[in-house]
Structure 1
Amino acid sequence: MADRIALLCSGQAGQHAGMFDLARSDPHVAQLLQSWPLEEVCGRPLQEMLADESGLFDNLVAQPLVIAAALSTWEAIRHSLPPPALVAGYSIGELASWSVAGALAPEQTIRLAATRARLLQACVMPDRPQTMLAISFAQARMPLADLAPLLQSHGFHTAIEVDADSIIAGGLLDQADALEAVVVSGGGKVTRLPIQIASHTPWMHEAVVPFEKAVADSGMHAPACAVLAGISGARLHDAAAAPAVLARQLAEPIRWHAVMDGINEAGTTLAIELGPGSALSRMLKSRHPHIHCRAVAEFRTLAGVKRWVEQHLD
């Protein structure tokens, strides 16, 4: 049986100045990028945005750029491999996954990403900035199950369930130091993420309804392959499901461990992360080591991606 290929669409935090370089080595993709509405929705030319290292993590810029990076990479490699069996995306990457699956044109997906970013940003009060923390309790004295009350007492909530002992939490920046101190005192580890909104938590509640409407009005049609829902890991084949799942994940936790298990349960043997970054491929490889998994960002050339795929096809 031919390998079942899964595609992974990255979330925020992996942006860098060279995030489009490999995709733009394909002249056709370079032209496509010029025609996509990045400058329109971000207000700056692409090269100017890429040259501004700190600006790459501005939420209003980051979300459209992450979407465009995944979609341009997909355009650059799509003719070098068989059609995927399923697509999954992490956070903003879930929106990209519907486009990769053929349900929505790249231009409209980029505009939806900009709408998503604006709606989320509107949930952040100027005098109460937000942040996200990666929290791990591997080899710690505090069970992860006991973390929820601690998070809430500091204005934080679970945003992404990564594994049995690892989460991403979102909440108020002015409470982050105190929360970190308690977690570290319990043997946990905390890493600050370059994200300035508490995505996937109740802090984003007001963005849910308007974003669901924006997706419903986008003209999305049925995907050519299954798309995994971030809030559950369920396989979706109907575009009618997209508005609700893409909107709900703004204010509900992403269950990434369930998504990774869904990838495995589908019989996936080969997984490719479109980027930017390679965090998803590392996580999947750690949880399901029998799946051949790499990120496009690990390759120097598009030809190298093609050769690797060919080596692992039945």
Structure 2
Amino acid sequence: MKLGFLFAGQGSQHAGMGADLYEQYPAFRAVYDSAEVDFDLKEVSFTDSQGLINQTRYTQPCMVAFAAGLTAVLREKGIVPSVAAGLSLGEYSALHAAGVFDAATAVKLVAFRGKAMEEAAAGRESAMMAVLNLDRAPLQDACDAASDLGCVVICNYNCPGQLVIGGEKAAVEKAAALAKEKGARRCLPLKVSGPFHTPLMAPAGDALKAYFETVSFAQPHIPVIFNCLGTVKDDTVTIPELLVRQVQSSVYMEDSIRSMAAMGVDAIVEIGPGKALSGFVKKTAPEVPVVAVETAADVEALPQTLEGLMKKEDA
């Protein structure tokens, strides 16, 4: 069975995520026990008594440890991807699943990334908004018309009917008002701590570029679909170059899902927490079955679920 793994991004985190997996699976425990971060990864992920999990510098390593641990558990059960992708932060989990770096390195990388993104956002009056039911072209026109007030861009192409704009607050608010005039059904402010995937994140990109010079990147053993391309890369660009670009440019998730579907996957497994990406898949490539996996119960049910999908296809 040809599976695509799709890894969740920042925003779907919650206290308690992974606690049952840590208790039940040694492979999951090993990721958390070997992680090198400057805070208690297990406490923040499983309990979060100090309310830290939604701060970017904590969110990112918690999310990637969760994804890497769950990938290891599924691997032990013989469930492995033929292609991988992830939403923003999830791209690091996809690269780990493809063997580009080990779990400890992935967690360490995103701990650095989270801090760099927080620092790039500090002191900026920024905003991000989800724009519903408006096509790309009229929303781009709205952003262009609002750019006299500052930076505003389409930063996430999530799925048909859901785009996200981000940048400087005044410009984002003007673009949202113009988007409504152009027919957008709703513009919803997002609870984020910075203008992610916009040119305002260039300082984070610069910091990552320097940091990546100290990291060894292996060749992926399966195709990885990159956020800023919406497809697999060619030989003209390196993985570090794409990760530097990714933090400060648009995420083409809809295009990435279409690319995964075009590669002939039999099903997509969303590695959570949450089911946001499953919703994107259903709106973008409804012909491809998608299963979300977050808990130990999900893990135990997955082989039978996938078997059922294969039988359904064969019928």
User: TM-score, normalization: structure 1?
Assistant: 0.87
Checking the alignment, whether the CA contact within 8 Å between 1:213 and 1:243 is kept in structure 2 is no
- Give CA deviations for 1:177-196 in whole Å, capped at 9, x if unaligned: 55544444554212222221
**Letter paired with 1:98:** L
Please, which of 87, 99, 104 is the counterpart of residue 101 of structure 2? Answer: 104
Secondary structure of 1:226 counterpart:
coil
Secondary structure of 2:290 counterpart:
strand
- Structure 1 position 71, deviation (Å): 1.0
Paired residues for 1:121-270 under 5 Å:
121-126=118-123, 128-138=124-134, 143-155=138-150, 156-173=152-169, 179-188=175-184, 189-236=186-233, 241-270=238-267
Aligned residues: 308
CA distance in 2, matches of 1:181, 1:24: 46
Q: 1:30 to 1:298 in 2, by over 3 A?
A: closer
Checking the alignment, whether the CA contact within 8 Å between 1:123 and 1:207 is kept in structure 2 is yes
Percent identical among aligned pairs is: 20
Checking the alignment, whether the CA contact within 8 Å between 1:63 and 1:113 is kept in structure 2 is yes
For CA contacts below 8 A with separation 6 or more, give which structure has more relative contact order.
Answer: 1
**Letter paired with 1:297:** E
Q: 1:298 to 1:111 in 2, by over 3 A?
A: closer
- Give CA deviations for 1:50-70 in whole Å, capped at 9, x if unaligned: 424852211111111111121
Secondary structure of 1:254 counterpart:
coil
CA distance in 2, matches of 1:278, 1:237: 30
Q: 1:147 to 1:78 in 2, by over 3 A?
A: farther
Could you say which residue in structure 1 is the equivalent of 2:24? 26
- Give CA deviations for 1:206-235 in whole Å, capped at 9, x if unaligned: 222331332342112111211111111222
Q: Does 1:15 align with 2:13?
A: yes
Name the Cα RMSD after superposition: 2.7
CA distance in 1, matches of 2:24, 2:233: 31
Checking the alignment, whether the CA contact within 8 Å between 2:41 and 2:62 is kept in structure 1 is no
Gaps of 5+ in 1: none
User: TM-score, normalization: structure 2?
Assistant: 0.87
Checking the alignment, whether the CA contact within 8 Å between 2:139 and 2:179 is kept in structure 1 is no
Q: 1:95 to 1:301 in 2, by over 3 A?
A: closer
Gaps of 5+ in 2: none
**Letter paired with 1:99:** H
- Give CA deviations for 1:119-168 in whole Å, capped at 9, x if unaligned: 21221242x233322112349xx933422214534532211122454311
